[in-house]
Amino acid sequence: MSLDEKIQQFPASPGVYLMHDGDGTIIYVGKARSLRQRVRSYFSSSGDSRYHVKFLMAKVVDIEIMLTDTEKEALLLENTLIKQHNPRYNLNLKDDKTYFSLRIDPHDEFARFTIVRKRPCDGARYFGPYSSGAAAREVLRQMTRMFPLRHYPLSACMSRTRPCLYHQIGQCSAPCHGQITPEAYAVLVSGAMLFLEGKGRQLIAEFKRRMSDASEHLLYEEAARWRNLLRSIETTVEKQKVVLSGGDCDVLGFYRDGERIELALLFIRAGVLSGSRLFSVVWELDDAAAISGFLQQYYAGSVYIPEEILLPLAIEDGRALAELLGDLKGSKVTLHLPLRGTKRELVVLAGRNAMTAYRDRDEKAAAVEAVLADLCKRLQLARLPQRIECYDISTIQGRFSVGSCVVYTAGKADRNNYRHYRIRTVEGQDDFAMLREVFLRRFRVEEGGNAVLPDLVVVDGGIGQLNAVQEIVAELGLTGRFDLVSLAKSRVLHDAAAHDVQRSDERVFLPGRKNPVVLRQNSAALLLLAAIRNEAHRFAIGYHRKLRGKEGIASALDGIAGIGPKRRTELLKYFGSLPRLTEAAPEEIMTVPGINRTTAEAVWRGLHHD
């Protein structure tokens, strides 16, 4: 049966269709209210005339369908199949792990805020997202100045003999030492949540009432505390501008240039614009399908779903998608295409944000391309260094020796491809031998392997390190497969007559050339190389310190009778660190589950070398 005949027999009912190419690979998954009508539209002469749609259809050899009872079930099935098969022509919204949220569980004893990445359905409250960990920490820092909630795990707080430093500076109410009642602490928690929800004005009215009540009952210290809280909150609320009346909503902005799409999502909470997120995706089909796919993938990812989502254009499956999001939220969700008024202005604003972000990405990409081209020219490289790898060794007299590899792709740190190497075969202080081991482990391609080679390898050091690495590369049969340079740090020039400390220039050594290349200091090309070298150094030292730290903890506790791996973990988990455990008295150590008096006294004697 031909494909045309097969399509004619498709039912006019909801379901999912899977398009296969000549190799049987699924290249596109779609859903439809009527499978027959939707699939036939791709092949009809009056169908979608855009080039990329025709290009997709030229690859389709077979179409498979799966029937569902409702359009909402088709949405669910489509999302599952996209995640399972990752088709070439479907929207691929990658999980962005750089966004953070604040979490608090009001049911915890003396609840506190923590910074998290994931938002599971665990009964806790989540606020955000924030664009970075630094942004989330800044919000948390401002919160603790207004609402003095505890900062540390309750077990760590209770193990202290006196309140922490945060209590002394007024940023913790010290519930662990009875400085505030559970009821008053719960009021602080409720106030903090109201503030993060954008209900600052409601919070001000409530705190004014409490201040008046305390004053009327001659509780002047309590009234002063509410007054101080009010001042902090009012200062922050003054800066907020109400942009929309009503509840919470998200506003989606959209900008497209060819296959590249930029999406901007604005978050309106209690009428106040509280934040935004940007997404860049590659999409080859129609705009409405891109927006529908984005909404499905984004809101299925354990994020907050508002009561209303404002869209820049209509989507075919809007009703079913709203129903699906409502099920995820547990209450009604509306997808709305505003045509006029304030909501339309917000959609236009989100679109301008998307367009600006798109242009910013282009400008940054062009700037990086220019820097890489300049680096290629000045170092006479054989290829544009799109992928740069840098290696460094960290050791102390041959102990805890480690190597590091950092990767920069298109001028940006590619942390997913960073690698640590624990030196296994080299004894003593021999940096060249350690570099040899690292390069052998990185570049030795097993039979049938397909290792990704860099365009440029940077070695931290001078001509000696460069020559050593050249020999290793030749031994591996990789000479000419990538460019190789070494970067030597600037040195202090000893001149007794000089009034100021003089430093030499950073130098780049090239294979086959005795004298180094000196790039213009503070040039973009040199700054990029130095940043990569410093990142490799930081990455190596971090792993080196981690190994030393583990060894120190193990040596401090492993020699104590009755302390095995399980009890060692419990002790460190309870106290948080070895110094805190060392400061604890035997009576405090006994509070750890599974530790009796004899063991606690043995731990105390062992840590104090008694």
Q: Which of 477, 461, 459 is nearest to 388 (CA)?
A: 459
Local confidence band at 22 (pLDDT 50, 70, 90 cut-offs): confident
- CB-based contacts of 426, cutoff 8 Å, min separation 6: 398, 401, 433, 434, 437
How high is the pLDDT of residue 407? 93
**From the centroid of its chain, how far is CA 294?**
19
Average pLDDT over residues 273-286: 80
Comparing 56 with 59, the larger pLDDT belongs to: 59
* Residue 517 DSSP code: B
Chain segment 438-454, per-residue pLDDT in tens: 888 888 754 444 568 89
Q: Where are the alpha helices (DSSP H) in 300-403?
A: 318-329, 341-378
Q: Per CATH, which fold does 249-359 belong to?
A: Nucleotidyltransferase; domain 5 (3.30.420)
Measure the CA–CA gap between 533 and 5, rounded to whole angstroms: 62
How high is the pLDDT of residue 376? 92
Measure the CA–CA gap between 236 and 142, rounded to whole angstroms: 10
User: Of the CATH numbers 3.40.1440.10, 3.10.20.600, 3.30.565.60, 3.60.40.10, which one belongs to the domain with range 3-85?
Assistant: 3.40.1440.10
Chain segment 539-567, per-residue pLDDT in tens: 888 776 776 655 555 556 666 777 777 78
Residue 254 has pLDDT above 80, yes or no: yes
Q: Where are the alpha helices (DSSP H) in 103-173?
A: 133-146, 154-158, 165-168
Q: What kind and span of H or E run contains 222?
A: helix 220-237
* CATH architecture classification, 558-607: Orthogonal Bundle (1.10)
Helix axes 524-557, 341-378, angle to 10 degrees: 100
* The domains spanning 249-359 and 387-445+452-545 adopt the same CATH topology: yes
**From 50-59, 101-110, 222-231, 300-309, the region with the lowest mean pLDDT:** 50-59
Residue 341 has pLDDT above 80, yes or no: yes
Beta strand pairing call for 502-503 and 492-493: antiparallel
Average pLDDT over residues 261-270: 85
Residue 511 has pLDDT above 70, yes or no: yes
Domain regions of the chain by residue span: 3-85, 249-359, 387-445+452-545, 558-607
Place of tokens 């419990």: 570
Half-sphere exposure of 236 (CA within 13 A, CB side): 21
pTM above 0.85, yes or no: no
Average pLDDT over residues 356-373: 89
- Rg of the chain's alpha carbons, rounded to an integer? 31
- CB-based contacts of 429, cutoff 8 Å, min separation 6: 395, 397, 398
Sign of the CA dihedral running 121, 122, 127, 133: negative
How high is the pLDDT of residue 609? 62
**From 217-221, 347-351, 532-536, the region with the lowest mean pLDDT:** 217-221
How high is the pLDDT of residue 49? 45
Helix axes 71-85, 318-329, angle to 10 degrees: 80
How high is the pLDDT of residue 98? 47
Local confidence band at 503 (pLDDT 50, 70, 90 cut-offs): low
Are the beta carbons of 456 and 485 closer than 8 angstroms?
A: yes
Comparing 137 with 226, the larger pLDDT belongs to: 137
Place of tokens 């499956």: 317
Average pLDDT over residues 199-223: 73
- Determine the Cα angle at 542 with ends 538 and 548, to 5°: 145
Residue 312 has pLDDT above 90, yes or no: yes
Comparing 309 with 211, the larger pLDDT belongs to: 309
Residue 256 has pLDDT above 80, yes or no: yes
CA dihedral angle for residue 354, residue 359, residue 364, residue 369, rounded to 10 degrees: 130
How high is the pLDDT of residue 131? 59
Q: What kind and span of H or E run contains 2?
A: none
Q: Quick one: what percent of the chain has pLDDT higher than 90?
A: 10
Q: Quick one: what percent of the chain has pLDDT higher than 70?
A: 82
Neighbours of 134 (CB within 10 A): 10
Please give the single-letter amino acid code of residue 576.
Answer: G
- Determine the Cα angle at 549 with ends 546 and 550, to 5°: 90
Beta strand pairing call for 100-104 and 125-130: antiparallel
User: Of the CATH numbers 2.60.40.10, 3.30.420.340, 3.40.605.10, 3.20.20.140, which one belongs to the domain with range 387-445+452-545?
Assistant: 3.30.420.340
**From the centroid of its chain, how far is CA 362?**
22
CA distances from 486 to 392, 409, 513, 530 (A): 11, 18, 12, 11
Determine if the peptide bond prior to 129 is cis (ω within 30°): yes
* Residue 314 DSSP code: -
Please give the single-letter amino acid code of residue 496.
Answer: A
Q: Provide φ and ψ at 548, rounded to 5°.
A: -65, -40
Residue 610 has pLDDT above 70, yes or no: no
**From 112-116, 224-228, 411-415, the region with the lowest mean pLDDT:** 224-228
Neighbours of 258 (CB within 10 A): 9
Average pLDDT over residues 338-367: 89
Residue 272 has pLDDT above 80, yes or no: no
Chain segment 156-193, per-residue pLDDT in tens: 777 777 888 888 887 888 888 888 888 888 888 887 88
